[in-house]
Chains A and B, each alone.
Chain A
């Protein structure tokens, strides 16, 4: 029930999360409410099935990739800190942060980190390169291949993947490195398009 929500989140924890992620006090409490409402097992952590219970996420073609992003390497449960850390990537970039001290560590929601998050959703094996295979995998998840009417063969996907790598690849290694990724997307308004805006 909701009455557990605020009582289990101590002020010190809220402060720590605030420092780490930059969310405001009220945003953290609301997100904690959300976290507990998803946590059907009531054990303080979320498993993959808790995410899959969200219908809008279950019909998302890249839903599984997104869910994976919440779970650290090899683990099956994510606690509230981990949940917030992942969500922090999608916090809008505030103006006063843009002129922050350059020696301070990059905030989680900076442009670079947002692009890194997206990059890592492509780059499954974490070798810092999006290979043709990895790109093909994501393409396969997004399109419909088995229905009559709109079908895209594997060959067509293959040539789309080749074309995309060709456009982006600059050092000729037939894969997209993070820097090449950033270069291709340098005109994309990442701040606007990869942010979640709270209404309060």
Chain B
């Protein structure tokens, strides 16, 4: 018995020895070399087209299944929320509630019905709130044949299940090994290439080679995710000495953006594998890595970034002002720190197509490795990147207002919801100051329009700063 096993093992080994070089040469020939020069064999676009056809068929099949068996069907997610919400301001709503009273509200005063406004608002937010849903993956209107997005879809038909099964096999057994190989090759080349370039002393040659190395690696990595990226308005691409800001959905954003240009990365210096990559990247061109202790000192951070930007020959910095990953349905508050550095801001909007894979990194649920594995077993990553025209701070505009202006522009271009809530609400509690704002608004209603406070009450859109 053991003899057979031994013989079998040897046989496998010899097969492997023959196959491995073949595998690698195929990799290099068909995928890596075109990737390095930014060319494409067109395989990915054909793949995407086939996928779209299959998903459309699946959608129709599921809808038919729901119509035939209405009791089985679970309702599809609603794009506009669960409930109807009154859009009026606090003053309007309370005014309507108080209509039963004979005195007018301009006299101030309190009415027993005032509390109803808060009750209803509170209950509405319990049933459906705008914020907490941004920290978990977007629910798809129709199933895209991935188990991970199968929240509400039951067994519909045999054919659908077979296609799903085939999909599993293809994704895990064909695509996944391919992608892992590419990712490893890409990262290894990044480390080796940048270290080699670091030895050069000729400035111009060094910069040119460094850009080449970085681009090559990011292109290989992008292939490693089957990423199809569509860049719009390339004339607005970030220039040297500028600051590029974008909405943040996942660590892959960096790969997506760096496929089309070179950026100076900003971030915390890590240990381990990340640390190795970071240290070698710095050898070939300046990136800005902060120690954890430095990050707490806002002034130190700002001055270092300012110094980098001031040197007009440095690559544009890439910053994600939201500070955390959001699920790509909305843009949350931009931290004003990035907008205090000065210089020109180049906004970029990134929108992933959720049908092909969920790019959002839910860091509470999945760690980085888990997340990358999920990425590599999705169908594909299809992204749209819009370069917006550069913006600078206007006269009389403070950093926070400037940040909001940029945020609105990005949200508008990317078709995302523009929200004033802070992304750090993912982990932290909301500040007391916002509750006090509500109380302040109500207080001025109770005191009436006359009195010390003659400010206009805030409208709904500004209250949630």
- What residues make up the interface of A, taking CB atoms closer than 8 Å to B? 1-3, 5-6, 26, 29-31, 33-34, 37-38, 51-63, 66, 87, 90, 118, 121-122, 138-139, 142-145, 147, 149-152, 160, 163-164, 168, 176, 181, 184-188, 193-194, 196-200
Contacts and interface: CB of A to CB of B under 8 A. Distances in A.
A197 B84 contact: yes
A1 B137 CA distance: 10
Given A118-B119, A199-B84, A200-B75, A142 B442 contact: yes
A194 B119 contact: yes
A121 B136 contact: no
- Interface residues of A, dominant DSSP: helix
A38 to B, nearest CB: 8
Contacts of A59: 430, 434-435, 437-438
Interface stretch (B110-118, B157-165, B255-263, B402-410): B110-118
Nearest to A29: B74
Contacts of A1: 148, 151
Nearest to A146: B436
A143 B51 CA distance: 57
A6 B97 CA distance: 38
A160 B446 contact: yes
A55 B421 contact: yes
B116 A118 contact: yes
B110 A160 contact: yes
B191 to A, nearest CB: 36
Nearest to B110: A160
Contacts of A200: 75, 78, 82
B431 to A, nearest CB: 9
B439 interface: yes
B83 A54 contact: no
A14 B365 CA distance: 29
A31 B434 CA distance: 27
Contacts of A31: 127
Contacts of B111: 164
A144 to B, nearest CB: 4
A150 B445 CA distance: 10
A76 B80 CA distance: 32
Nearest to A56: B125
A181 B74 contact: no
Contacts of A33: 151
B398 interface: no
Q: What interface size band does chain B fall in?
A: 35 or more
Nearest to B434: A59
A193 B129 contact: no
A185 B83 contact: no
A56 B129 CA distance: 7
Interface of B: 74-75, 78, 80-84, 96-97, 99-100, 109-116, 118-133, 136, 139, 148, 150-152, 154, 421, 425, 429-430, 434-440, 442-444, 446-447, 451-453
A121 B83 contact: no
Contacts, number: 179
Given A61-B439, A87-B123, A194-B120, 16 more contacts: A34-B82, A34-B127, A38-B132, A56-B130, A57-B125, A62-B122, A121-B119, A144-B443, A147-B440, A149-B453, A163-B109, A168-B112, A185-B100, A198-B83, A199-B78, A200-B78
19 contacts: A5-B151, A5-B152, A30-B78, A54-B131, A56-B121, A56-B131, A57-B129, A58-B430, A59-B430, A66-B126, A87-B123, A144-B440, A152-B443, A160-B109, A164-B111, A181-B112, A193-B96, A198-B83, A199-B84
B436 A55 contact: no
B250 to A, nearest CB: 18
Given A149-B452, A149-B453, A152-B446, A30 B439 contact: no
Nearest to A195: B120
A57 B96 CA distance: 22
Contacts of B150: 3
A58 B429 contact: yes
Given A2-B152, A3-B150, A37-B136, A60 B110 contact: no
B435 A60 contact: yes
The 5 closest A-B pairs by CB, nearest first: A2-B151, A187-B100, A56-B125, A144-B439, A66-B122
A118 to B, nearest CB: 6
Given A51-B126, A150-B440, A197-B83, A142 B118 contact: yes
Nearest to B111: A164
A105 B78 CA distance: 34
Given A62-B118, A121-B115, A142-B115, A188 B425 contact: no
Contacts of B452: 149-150
Contacts of A66: 118-119, 122-123, 126
A3 B151 contact: yes
B151 A57 contact: no
A150 B121 CA distance: 23
Nearest to A57: B125
B112 A184 contact: yes
B82 A55 contact: no
Contacts of B97: 188, 193
Contacts of B123: 66, 87, 90, 196
Contacts of A61: 118, 435, 438-439, 442
A199 B115 contact: no
Contacts of B82: 30, 34, 198-200
A55 B116 contact: no
